[in-house]
Amino acid sequence: MTTPCFFVSDLHGKKARYEKFFYAIETQKPGAVFMGGDLLPSGLYQLSANENRCGDFFDEVLFAGFSALKNKVGFPYPEVFLIPGNDDGKGEEDRFLEGDTMGLWHYVPNDVVVWKNWFVLGYAYVPPSPFLLKDWEKYDVSAYVDPGCVSPEDGFHSSPVSKYELRYSTIQKDLEKLMTEPDPSRTLCLFHSPPYQTNLDRAALDGKKFEHVPLDTHVGSIAIRRMIEEKQPRITLHGHVHESARLTGHWKQQLGATTMMSAAHDGTELALVIFDPEHPEAGKRVLL
């Protein structure tokens, strides 16, 4: 067995979860760590006057926690790969990049990097949601918005985006570009959104309607699902839909040759996914 890897997602700035996370890294010494977005305190701060909230969080939690591990004498510091999520404002991107420059992590949204004999593909965007912050939302396969959701063109952006990109850019087009080079059998995809109509994208929308229209209980990305079915990457990691594992009883699913895993969790615990990249189907998830 190769050195196991860790995957977490949707920590939402909860310091207790980060304390457990850093302790698990220190004691279990994973070979690599993957972080699937929604890492900061709520993106709603972008709409308020509390501008220093996430800045303090970077310094006091993210930079401090990872630096303590990196500077620990004799500690085998893992490779860390992370992406933001739809609740992480783009106004904080310079701090994510600062951590990359410091050597604490690799910031990989919309990027493909090489790690050992693997391609790591990072992609943060999710389909349109009911939430107002749209920094990491795009149309999925077309300019369609589910009932009750807000389009990327009508929401709030903390960084300027052209009207053309908002209207015509899609998750599907992005993934077509990103998947042109990697060998799918040696590709690990780090997504925030889960794929559509799986055990990983089941939302608690049963019986709910918007203007008399029943809401779809599956809220994942059609484009991500199509890419997985067509390209068959070896591993895909997901978050975003907190309640899916509780509702379906599954946090992991096989789709052809692809092992899909979610670290989203709607309890107070830290959901830690531990997997061997050579045998991801044997991965496990523990609640700490």
pTM of the model: 0.94
3-state class (DSSP) for residue 190: strand
Which pLDDT belongs to residue 42? 76
Residues 6 or more apart whose CB falls under 8 angstroms from that of 13 comprise 39, 40, 41, 42, 54, 57, 61
Domain layout of the chain by residue ranges: 5-287
Q: Calculate what percentage of the chain has a pLDDT beyond 70.
A: 95
pLDDT at 52: 47
Which residues of the chain fall below pLDDT 70? Answer: 1-2, 43-55
Sheet holding 252-255, edge to edge: 111-115, 118-123, 187-191, 235-238, 258-262, 252-255
| 276: DSSP letter | -
For residues 259 and 261, give the distance between their C-alpha atoms in angstroms, rounded to a whole number.
7
Inter-residue contact 262 to 244 (CB < 8 Å): yes
Q: How far is CA 68 from CA 19, 56, 127, 206, 221, in A?
A: 12, 17, 36, 44, 37
What do you get for the CA distance between the two ends of the chain, in Å? 24
The reported pLDDT for the residue numbered 53 is: 53
What is the DSSP pairing of strand 209-210 with strand 118-123?
unpaired
pLDDT for res 50: 47
Q: What is the pLDDT of residue 181?
A: 86
- Residue 228 pLDDT: 98
- The alpha carbon torsion through 134, 129, 286, 15 (nearest 10 deg) reads 40
Q: What is the pLDDT of residue 93?
A: 93
Q: What is the pLDDT of residue 49?
A: 43
CATH architecture observed for domain 5-287: 4-Layer Sandwich (3.60)
